Amino acid sequence: MTANIIRDLSRAEYHAIKALNASGAHTIERQCPAKYWHTSPFNVDAAPAEQANHFDIGEAVHALVLEPEKFDDQTQVIDAGSYRTDRAKAARERAYAHGLTPLLTKEVALVEAMAAAILADPIARHFRDGGDTEVVMTWTDPEFGFPCKLRVDHLPHNLIDLRDVKSAVTANPRDFERHAWDMGYHQRAAWYLDGVEICTGTRPKAYWFVVVEKEPPYCVSVMKYPEEDIEWGRSLNLSARAKFAECLERGQWPSYRPAGVWQPKAFDIRIPKYALWDLQDRAERREIPIPRSLAELERVQLRYRLAARLQAPSNREYLP
């Protein structure tokens, strides 16, 4: 697969392309190859990916902010209060089958309010100017030779940066940092910056997240990772790409394994470091007993310190 730039490709057509994308690389690296293979376009027996309702909200916000003239043609309003009834569920499935984004009646007002908040934000409202939306790029991985892909929300004509519209529970940067880590957005940013550079010859200077909350007052934040964090994302993507290439070569998509191990293996697990700090603090406060192994270690260290003091020469020996 040579580098290609494709416009006006539907979401379903994009997902059907047999190529590794950013979310797949994150799944392989953070979870395991088996998780990726379960819904992979490379897998002829893949299970259909489940479409969560919050993705529909995000897709609709994308359309209304980035391509408002196409909003009515890309969405299907479901005249129901929820998807609990068979009729509503069937209507949603028909919308998906026709490449449309389903929205409950009450969700239309929500999407309009979120889009209005983005367009009212003094920074975010400029991020749809002078560019193309939903641009697909495909290329051949330079190290391992398999196909890769991406679909960028908004691609400026001057390629100065990339823009990614996100709907979220919170746009508070402190809270979004944790969510972004869990979702692998550092890998996503690195994947897109690298992919655009391969396909266009120009590397954008930044990958921006335009985040809008789903509840009033629909706060908006515009955020990006510093370059050193992008480098961590690139490192993780390289690890994922190496695993993916090996899985393709072997024809195996294993579950959780230690690095470099292909056979099933039981694991030792550890108490996380943040939890250990809490336990140590509680032990120092005498809220819980000090574990016997640590107490014995402290006694041994105390004996060595006392012995060292007794054996140390007197300072008088070094006086003239």
Q: How does pLDDT run across 128-180, given as a tens digit for each residue?
A: 778 888 899 999 999 999 999 999 988 999 999 999 999 999 999 999 999 99
Q: What 3-state class would DSSP assign to 137? A: strand
Q: SS in 3 state form for 156-216?
A: ECCCCCEEEEEEECCCCHHHHHHHHHHHCHHHHHHHHHHHHHHHHCCCCCCEEEEEEECCC
The Cα–Cα gap between 75 and 209 comes to 23
Helices (H), the chain: 11-16, 22-26, 33-38, 53-66, 71-74, 86-97, 105-120, 173-183, 185-200, 227-250, 273-284, 292-311
CA atoms within 13 A on the CB side of 315: 0
Q: What is the tens place of the pLDDT at every residue in 118-136?
A: 999 999 988 877 888 889 9
State the pTM of this model: 0.84
The Cα–Cα gap between 119 and 123 comes to 9
Query: Where does the pLDDT of residue 316 fall: very low under 50, low under 70, confident under 90, or very high at 90 and above?
Result: very low
